[in-house]
Every structure is written in structure tokens, then in C-alpha cells.
Structure 1
Amino acid sequence: MIKAAGAVLWRDADGDVEVAVVHRHRYDDWSLPKGKLDRGETVPACAVREVFEETGYSCVLGRHLKQVSYSVKSVPKTVDYYAAEAVSGSFAANDEVDSLKWLPVADASALLTYEPDREVLAEFTRLPADLLLVLLVRHAKAGKRSEWDDDDDLRPLSDAGWRQATALRSLLPVWSPTRVHTAPRVRCVDTVRAVAEDLSVEMVEEPRLSEEGYWPDPEAGLVRLLEIAADEGRAVVSSQGGVIPSVVRTLAELGGLRLDEIPCKKGSVWVLAFTRPFGAWSTSDSPSRWPTLVSAHYLASALPRP
């Protein structure tokens, strides 16, 4: 299996969206920037690296768009595509790409050589480019509850859990979060502590997103997550396995989003994208004006590919 990743790289052009298409001289084709994973690399990190190497632009990932599958010389290959906003940089011809064009979406689609690339671009245009984003993290592995004699709130991460936390520290910045929220459990806090330190921000404790705080009033927990989503800047939220599936399932149902299953491994991440409310928003408004979940993508592990 060959694994690769790429992106629809976009920018705001006086209120309109333009996307980048690249010409590869080796194949004489127009395509979206993409490339194979390096050893020890995650799929999202690969997408960011390949965009930079092929286009010269640094980018911030948004929602996952789709996975494309095909064969290369009878070897199966998958390419995961993300929306990615260009934040800095400029193009220079390189070993892989000799030309780049910024185009309106319709023009870009007409120029692309391959139908799968056009399908990826069509998925990109299905929703607004600039969405709210919450990175909902299940805490990393902790020691077994049966082997912990103290208050369960204080149960620490295991060695494997600290490795997962280190991997999350490297992975989560590709979405450029600016805030860190956490259920008030040591294992939840320590899972994202280093992320907050790197951002130089204080972690905000969220009692309603712990198991004990959520289940007496699930609606209040959902509203709190929507409040977090609607605040300025993207958010990391660290919570527990007894909360995350219920939150994701309910938000998906409210948004009319079909999810066949809702896994929740320790150290995993749900990348949740929401529409932006129109104008100032508060929980006293009609639910029709609340942020709506429109995309939910699950990353089972932040650990890189061996």
C-alpha cells in the first residue's frame, strides 16, 4: 500500500476563493499538490509538507475532504486530501512542479487533468472554505483504573500515554489552534499540556466535558462545546471516552451529518468543522442560528507511520 496526502490550497482574493493547481513537467499534467508519506510521518503532516515543497506556500489545514484510491503498477495507493489555507510564501519552479496557477474554482476544475482531482475540488466547494474548527481529543493512555488506589481524577498517563501526548504535540499544530480546553482530569490535562505551553496560553478547564459533568445535563455539555467552537480562533478540547461519542453523535444528528460509526481510541482526534453563525451569536438565539457540524473526520492515532 502506498499512502499519500495532498490538499486543495486556497486563498481569499478580495472576497472570492482562489485555489492553486500545479503543473508537473514529468507527467505534463495539471493536478492538486500531493505526495507520498515519508517514513515516520503522519498523513496530515505529509499534506502540509507536500504543499510547501510543491508550491512554496506554508498552509494551515482545515477539514478533511476525501480519500482517493487507485493503483500504481498494480500497487494500491490512497491519497487523503484536506482543505488548506495559504498563509505565507510564494511559488518558485522546482524539481517536481514548473508552474502554479491561482484560479477561481470553476477555472481550476476545467484545467485539472484527472477526474479524481475534480471530485476532490467539488467536495471542497460543497462547503464554505473558512469554517470553525474544534480538535476533540480523547485523553492518552493512563494506567489501569483497577491498579490505581488514589482518586481516579488523579490517575496519570502511562509511558505509552506520554508518547501519545508527545505525538499530539507535533500533530495538532498543523491546524493552527489558538486555544486549549480540557476536562479537569489529570490525564486529560497532561494530554494537551505541552500544546498549551507551545502556544503560550492557559488551559481552560471544562467541567461539563468530563464524564461526571456531562451526563447529568448532556444538553449543557453540547452547548458548551458550541460556545467553544464559536469563539475566535481554533480550539483543542481534551475530554473522555464516556463523553466524546455522545457529543459527536448528537452534533452529527443535529447537523444532518451521517456517521456510520463513532470510534474513540485513547489519544485519538475528531476534527470537527462547523459553519459560522451569522453575526453575533449567543445560546439564547434560536438553534437554527447556532454553529452547525458539517464535517467530522476521525484520526485514530497521532503517532507517525513506522
Structure 2
Amino acid sequence: MTEAPAGLDADVLAAGAVLWRPAEGRDGAGSGADAPEVAVVHRPRYDDWSLPKGKLDPGESLPAAAVREVAEETGYRARLGARLGDTRYDVPEGRKLVRYWAAQAQPGGPGFVPNHETDELRWLRPGEAARQLTYDRDREVLDRFTEQPVPESTLLLVRHAKAGNRRSWNGDDAQRPLSGTGRAQADQLAGLLQLFGPERLHSAPPVRCTQTLAPLAEELGARITEEPLLGEEGFAQHPAAGLARVRELLDQPGVTVLCSQGGVIPDVVEKLGRESSLAEHVVDDSGVVPSRKGSTWVLGRRDGRLRFADYYRSPSA
């Protein structure tokens, strides 16, 4: 499981991405002739070739910094995908950590314009990019990217944010709304989830689930589709049908968001992981699939198999 550690143990935090686009006439599925092109940039200050990356701004999350730095150094909007891990090395300020993602270049940006940080960008096949890069640590990140094909579809599986106290709620539990803390979490989640370029929003019936996605729906101008089988009540009654519905959502091309509950998400992630030889990657040290309130699983699928499963324990991950 590639959950971000609670303590990063670094003096300098930075984030970046392997920015990719399909090679002309290809879909970016593999690592050979049909491999995607990836962006490498030249930094005149250091006279080196590297992957786009940069330091976090105050209060900024690592995923948000990765998207911002890609835009600043390449001129491209990025849609985050799989997390590619960290590199660590020493700089004058101390120990530095850089976290990387795979990120697909999106249409609509200005494109590359030379600037004082990066004066040249080259789109290269992975093998060519590896030879162009200056540092072994960047080549290691690129190797992680090429080890798995880019997904055809991604499901952002969100557990609802914190709701009001169950004991002090006298009505139908399905109508129990988010607390003040939960509403703040929902706002933060909208920021995190947008980095993955969501296209469709789905939710279990309880109000606390739909309220969790409401800020994102407003930002996107999208409607939320209710999924009766994917709340705790519906899933408990029809688990096979519920799991089949999750597979349908996961198979939709592009990026789908589903907000559900703690009685559904661990079971779904465990079963999908076991089907795709990722069972050991979706459990924590105690052998349990984590699913904190306000957390997100990012599941990528290609050719009918789950290719990655990344856990974000909080909206500020």
C-alpha cells in the first residue's frame, strides 16, 4: 500500500511528476513502440535535465504542488494518476524529499514557454528520456512509471467526511448531515479530487455522502448520481450486486468519483486487490484495508485488471 507516511522526515519538501502524453496514434499502453512520450525539462540554473518538480508553497499539499509545478515548468495542465514514490537527497538546506506522480498532460494549457526556471522542454519516449536525464534518481522514478501501463479508467473511492454525532441525532440516520468539521473536510476534498480530473460523480444515498461531494459538484458544475447498492444498507443486502456495480464504475473510461461508507469501502478494495494480485498492497501493517473518514482510494484499471491502488488518508495528503 502506498500511503503517505505520517512523518516525512525531511527539511525540504517538493513534488513533481512524470508528465506524459500518448505518442501520436497510440494510447500509451505499453513501454515499447507504443509507449507514451514523457516530458523532460532543462534548468539553466543547474544546466541539467530533470523531471518537472519544485518546492511546496506554505500550506500546500504535495499533490497540489505537483500539479502547480508541472504547470509552471512545462505550461501544461496535469491530471494526476498513480503515485510513483519518493526520492531523497541532501541539499544545502538539509534533507530533501520529492514525491512524484504519473500525470497526463491535458489540453487547454498555454503549452511550453521558455522561462528563467526551464528554458527547454523535450517530449521523448521513456528510453530516450532516461538517456537525457541527468540524475539516476530521476531515472529510477521514470522506471517506476514504465513498469505499469497507464490506466484506461480510474475510480476515486471516497469515504464520506465527518458527520454529526450519531447519539445526538434523533432522525433517520441516512439523513444525518456533516458536522462543521465534515463540511471543512468536504471543501478540502474538492481541492484534492480535482487534481485527478474527475468526470462523473456518484454517491451512496446517505446525506453525509452526497454532502461530501457537494463542493466538488459545484466546482465542476456536475450532478451527483445516487447509487443505492453502494451504501452500507444496500451493500449488506446485495454484496455481489454492489461489487458488480463498483466494477461497472471502475470500467468507465476516464475518471469517476464514488463516495461511500466504512461498511463498504474496505470490502470492495480488498476484493478488487485480491483479484488483481494487489492484496498485499491495499492493507496496512495490521492487515486491514484502511478507510478513514475523508480519505480516498485512487484505483487505476487497465485491461480488466487493477494496476494501482493509492490511499490518501486525509484531504490534505
- Determine if the TM-score, normalized by the shorter chain, exceeds 0.5: yes
Give yes or no for the alignment of 1:176 onto 2:197: yes
Of the three residues 158, 161, 166, the one matched with 2:187 is 166
| Cα contact 1:139–1:240 (8 A) shared by 2 | yes
What amino acid does structure 2 have at the position aligned with 1:265?
A: R
Q: What does residue range 229-268 of structure 1 map to in structure 2 within 5 Å?
A: 229-257=250-278, 258-259=280-281, 260-261=283-284, 262-268=289-295
Instruction: Identify if the C-alpha distance between structure 1 residues 194 and 79 changes in structure 2 by more than 3 Å, giving closer, same or farther.
Output: same
Of the three residues 101, 111, 122, the one matched with 1:90 is 111
What amino acid does structure 1 have at the position aligned with 2:71?
A: F
Of the three residues 4, 9, 13, the one matched with 2:23 is 13
Match of 1:45 in 2: 64
Q: What does residue range 279-290 of structure 1 map to in structure 2 within 5 Å?
A: none
Instruction: Provide the rounded CA distance (Å) in 2 between the counterparts of 1:294 and 1:208.
Output: 25
Sequence identity, in percent? 50
2:145 counterpart SS class = helix
Instruction: Provide the rounded CA distance (Å) in 2 between the counterparts of 1:68 and 1:248.
Output: 28
Pairwise CA distance, 1:131: 3.0
Instruction: Provide the rounded CA distance (Å) in 2 between the counterparts of 1:249 and 1:82.
Output: 23
Of the three residues 274, 278, 283, the one matched with 2:301 is 274
What amino acid does structure 2 have at the position aligned with 1:195?
A: L
Instruction: Provide the rounded CA distance (Å) in 2 between the counterparts of 1:225 and 1:68.
Output: 34
| Cα contact 2:151–2:300 (8 A) shared by 1 | no
Residue deviations 1:220-255, cap 9 Å, x none?
A: 222111101112431110001121111111111110
Give yes or no for the alignment of 1:133 onto 2:154: yes
What amino acid does structure 2 have at the position aligned with 1:122?
A: D
Pairwise CA distance, 1:130: 4.0
Match of 2:244 in 1: 223
2:118 counterpart SS class = coil
What amino acid does structure 2 have at the position aligned with 1:274?
A: R
Residue deviations 1:105-127, cap 9 Å, x none?
A: 10001111111211111111112
What amino acid does structure 1 have at the position aligned with 2:307?
A: V
Instruction: Identify if the C-alpha distance between structure 1 residues 129 and 294 changes in structure 2 by more than 3 Å, giving closer, same or farther.
Output: closer
What is the TM-score normalised by the length of structure 1? 0.90
Instruction: Provide the rounded CA distance (Å) in 1 between the counterparts of 2:63 and 2:87.
Output: 15
Give yes or no for the alignment of 1:296 onto 2:275: no
Of the three residues 99, 115, 140, the one matched with 1:80 is 99
Match of 1:110 in 2: 131
Greater alpha carbon shift after TM alignment, 256-265 vs 239-248: 256-265
| Cα contact 1:42–1:302 (8 A) shared by 2 | no
Q: For the aligned residues, what is the CA RMSD?
A: 1.6
Pairwise CA distance, 1:68: 2.0
Instruction: Provide the rounded CA distance (Å) in 1 between the counterparts of 2:253 and 2:123.
Output: 28
What amino acid does structure 2 have at the position aligned with 1:240?
A: Q
Instruction: Provide the rounded CA distance (Å) in 1 between the counterparts of 2:204 and 2:90.
Output: 44
Instruction: Provide the rounded CA distance (Å) in 1 between the counterparts of 2:125 and 2:268.
Output: 36
Match of 1:285 in 2: none
Residue deviations 1:138-192, cap 9 Å, x none?
A: 1001112122121111111000000011111222111111100000000001000
Pairwise CA distance, 1:73: 3.6
Aligned positions, number: 290
Instruction: Provide the rounded CA distance (Å) in 2 between the counterparts of 1:76 and 1:148.
Output: 49
Match of 1:201 in 2: 222
What amino acid does structure 2 have at the position aligned with 1:150?
A: G
What is the TM-score normalised by the length of structure 2? 0.87
- Provide structure 1 residue ranges, at least 5 long, that are not aligned to the other structure: 277-290
| Cα contact 1:179–1:196 (8 A) shared by 2 | no
Instruction: Provide the rounded CA distance (Å) in 2 between the counterparts of 1:164 and 1:301.
Output: 8
| Cα contact 2:154–2:253 (8 A) shared by 1 | no
Instruction: Provide the rounded CA distance (Å) in 2 between the counterparts of 1:206 and 1:66.
Output: 33
